[in-house]
Amino acid sequence: MKVIMIFCLVLALVAAAVYFLMAAGIITVPTLNSSDAPRAIVYFAGGCYALGGLLILTQKRGLWISVS
């Protein structure tokens, strides 16, 4: 069970890193331009993924939907 939790944490942190890199302009999405949405939305999404990944380690059962 601990290995699955660590794996889920790593996946969430990778997703957060991708969102942060998109907000910084390092990774671009070709079908979108920067005027479509403010950068704050992308930073917020990355922060939610990072927070969710860290909450997995606190063993909150609400986040265990795919683990159980």
Q: Say what percent of the chain tops pLDDT 70.
A: 79
Within 8 A by CB and 6+ apart from 55, the residues are: 63
Return the axis-axis angle of helices 2-24 and 39-57, rounded to nearest 10°.
Answer: 170
Q: Say what percent of the chain tops pLDDT 90.
A: 28
Provide mean pLDDT across the span 10-36: 85
Return the closest-CA partner of residue 56 out of 10, 14, 15: 10
Indicate whether this model's pTM tops 0.95.
Answer: no
Is the pLDDT at 20 greater than 90, yes or no? Answer: yes
Is there a contact between 19 and 39 (Cβ–Cβ < 8 Å)?
A: no
Average of per-residue pLDDT values in the chain: 82
